[in-house]
Structures are given as structure tokens and as C-alpha cells.
Structure 1
Amino acid sequence: MTALLIGNVGPVADHEGMAAYRERVGRILEAHGGRFVIRGGEFTVLEGAWWPTHLSVMEFPTADHARRWYTSPEYRELLSLREGTPMDLVLVEGP
């Protein structure tokens, strides 16, 4: 069952660290069967009060793939690069 990870990055605290994070995260994502479907870009809020800052959508073959990516030592190592930058991640499973 396909799974999507929907992410929103808040205001960036360390631009150099975040640039290094963005440069490396895609390779780790791919190694775990994932890919970016959307990475930034324009958006329009059609309803509600949620005003994201920087959206990304990642697709995985299954939710287990997404969880393994998120808990992998390779990804955990990257977290220090975005320290101080808030991020929301929501895992959604679909048909």
C-alpha cells in the first residue's frame, strides 16, 4: 500500500546546514525506496487556516519503508544539519 510523507519546513535557522541536509536527503530517501513527488513550489490554501512555509511530499511503496527511512542511522545522522529548523512530518497510508 503506497504511503506518503507530507512535510512542512519552518523558518530555517542555519542556511548552510539546511543546504547540506537538502543535498544529502534525496539519496537516503531513494535508498529506502522513496522519492520526492513535490519539493517546494507554489501552493494555494483553498480551505482552512493552515499556511505551510515549505511543503514536500515523499512517496514510499509502503508505510514500513517510510518508517525505516525515518529511523535509519543515515537519516538520523542528517538531523543535526537542520537543528533549530522546525519540521512537521505526517505519514499517510493510501490504497
Structure 2
Amino acid sequence: MKFTESTVEDAALAWLGELGFSVLHGPEIAPGEMASEQMGFVKVLQERLRAKLTQAELRLVRQRLLELAAQNQDIELCNQAALDGAMMLDRMEDDDARRQSR
């Protein structure tokens, strides 16, 4: 089965919307636009993501990303994105733990 980037993106946005996240489209929030939250293009607004996710949600998102990677082993890009996402969540949790221990 072949997937396009938009197929994966649309599915991910729908899933996040079902979880209660606000889904905004790139042209609305791109740097330079009125609703922009960033000066340049980066992969994830980590502080915004951290503020929205509880620890339980972080674990759930990491678990789901790893499940997706395991289910779609023939889709290299999907696997890498899921693993990158899980590793980013791990780093965010580590950063939070270090801040709390100070």
C-alpha cells in the first residue's frame, strides 16, 4: 500500500483533533502571518506542546507513535517520524524532570 505525505498528515491531524487539540493550517500560522507563533520554520513548537500535554498524555502519545511505527514497517518515512516523535517526547520529559529536581 502506498501513502502520500498528505494522507499521513490528514490522518494525524484528524486523530489530534479527536483528542481535543486545535488544528490550524500552515498558511494561517506561518512566520509573518497574523496568527504566527514563531519567527522561523521549525518542526515542533516544543514549549507550546509541553504546556498542552500532561504526563499521562505524553505517555499515550509516545505509545501510539511507537505502535504506528510497528504497524507500518514498510513505510520508512512514517517509522522515522514516529520514532523521532517518541524520542522528542522522551527529551521533553527528561528536561521537565531536570527542572523539577532543581
Q: TM-score, normalised by structure 1?
A: 0.40
Q: Which has the higher contact order (CA 8 A, sep 6+)?
A: 1
Tell me which protein shows more strand as a share of its residues.
Answer: 1
Q: Which has the larger radius of gyration?
A: 2
